[in-house]
Amino acid sequence: MNVFEDWNLKVKKTFNETSNVVVLTVTEAGGLLGLSKDQMKTFVDKYKLTKVPIMRSTHRYLLLKCEVDEIVSNRAV
């Protein structure tokens, strides 16, 4: 039986295996901050977080885990 894997997660997995920079999907980053996917997209634009573009898709991107971790740690204080 095939297990469904979200396309964004497949791209993230491939990127993380071939790069020294760890990334998160928009949904994962939003979950860490308690935001929905749409709210997270607005947050990314408002705070000008780095978008890692995904080839062949103008509307999809990944986010740098280090930036999200820094935001999460600052919110915990």
Domains and CATH numbers, the chain: 7-76 (1.10.1660)
How confident is residue 15, by pLDDT bands cut at 50, 70 and 90? confident
Average pLDDT (29-44) is 94
pLDDT the model gives residue 5: 66
Coarse DSSP helix, strand, coil percentages of the chain, rounded to the nearest 5 percent: 55, 20, 25
pLDDT tens per residue, range 66-77: 999 999 998 754
- Rg, Å, the chain Cα set: 13
pLDDT of residue 60: 84
Residue entry with tokens 């949904």: 27
Tell if the pTM clears 0.85, that is, is over it.
Answer: no
Q: Residue 63: helix, strand or coil by DSSP?
A: strand
For the purposes of burial, counting CB atoms within 10 Å of the CB of 63, is it exposed (0-12), middle (13-18) or buried (19 or more)?
buried
Q: Greater confidence, 7 or 60?
A: 60
Quick one: DSSP state of residue 71?
Answer: H
